[in-house]
Amino acid sequence: MKNEYLLLTPGPLSTSESVRSAMLKDWCTWDDDYNKDVVEVIRRKLVKLATSRIGYTSVLMQGSGTASVEATIGSAIPKNGKLFVIDNGAYGARISQIAEYLHIDQHVMSSSETTFPSIEQVEQIFINDPDITHFAIVHCETTTGMLNPVQELVALAKRYNKVVIMDAMSSFGGIEMDIGDMDIDFMISSANKCIQGVPGFGFVIAKQSQLELCQGQARSLSLDLYDQWQCMQENHGKWRFTSPTHTVRAFYQALLELEEEGGVSARAHRYATNQQILVQGMRQLGFQPLLDEPLHSPIITSFYSPSHSEYQFKEFYDRLKAQGFVIYPGKVSNADCFRIGNIGDVFPDDIHRLINAVAKAMYWN
CA distance 166 to 187: 5
Yes or no: say if 168 and 139 are a contact pair by the CB < 8 Å rule. yes
Q: Are 143 and 91 in contact (CB under 8 A)?
A: yes
270 annotated among ligand-binding-site residues: no
Strand partners, 135: 84, 164
Q: Is the Cβ–Cβ distance between 203 and 190 less than 8 Å? A: yes
CA distance 182 to 165: 12
Environment class of residue 130 by beta-carbon count within 10 Å: exposed (0-12), middle (13-18) or buried (19+)?
A: exposed
Percentages helix, strand, coil for the chain (3-state, rounded to 5) are 40, 20, 40
Q: Please state at what angle helix 40-50 crosses helix 245-261, rounded to 10 degrees.
A: 40
Half-sphere exposure (Cβ direction) of 110: Cα atoms closer than 13 Å: 6
Annotated binding site for substrate: 339
